[in-house]
Copies of this chain bind each other. A is one copy, B any other.
Amino acid sequence: MKYYYSYEAFRKDTCSLTKEVQSFEPEAIVGIARGGLTLAHAMAESLNVREVQTLRTELYDVSCKRKSITLFGTCSFKNVQRVLVVDDIADSGETLQAIMLFLQKEFPSVEFTSATLFYKSTSIYKPDFWIHEAKEWIEFFWEADFKI
């Protein structure tokens, strides 16, 4: 069973998430592509953050037992101390974990905080902020509403 996550639900949840994250006062936002892009855009508008960047990962099956994660893109922070990293969902958590480790290693003087709309209790990475625990398969409106 798929649970359809509408724009209206997203609007409400994004406002809640933004309120929670607000005190962190991010100067830049990294949206994880593709799932985190609409959220990154909305939160950037809401928090009046002009600087939005993206990163992307791909998960490859190296063998039956082992998976390898590859990160695409890079970030650049100039005079930035606090960065918010957003994605739609921490599902397996592998993407977010890899990206947070990469960013913290690459930019040791920057403080990173993560936020997602959904979080699965089985995720290996727990975001600093999240709104709902995901118990079903979620079909986000950006996956469903633009079929041509």
Chain multiplicity (copies): 2
- B45 and A148 form a contact (CB under 8 A): no
Residues of chain B contacted by A37 (CB below 8 angstroms)? 31, 37-38, 40-41, 44, 52
Residues of chain B contacted by A44 (CB below 8 angstroms)? 33-34, 37
**What's the Cα separation between A94 and B53 when bound, in Å?**
20
Residues of chain A at interface, number, CB under 8 A = 36
- A142 and B45 form a contact (CB under 8 A): yes
Q: Give per-residue flags for A53-70: 1 if the beta carbon is below 8 A from chain B beta carbons, else 0.
A: 110101000000000000
Q: Cβ of A14 < 8 Å from any Cβ of B? A: yes
Q: Cβ of A143 < 8 Å from any Cβ of B? A: yes
Q: Cβ of A132 < 8 Å from any Cβ of B? A: no
Q: Which of A72, A74, A76, A142 has the most CB of B within 10 A?
A: A142
**What's the Cα separation between A76 and B76 when bound, in Å?**
14
Using A37-B31, A51-B72 as known contacts, say yes or no to A11 and B46 having CB atoms under 8 A apart: no
**What's the Cα separation between A14 and B56 when bound, in Å?**
23
Residues of chain B contacted by A50 (CB below 8 angstroms)? 33-34, 56, 58
* 11 further contact pairs, Cβ within 8 A, besides A34-B45, A37-B44, A50-B58: A15-B147, A31-B37, A33-B41, A33-B44, A34-B50, A37-B52, A42-B146, A45-B143, A51-B56, A52-B56, A54-B54
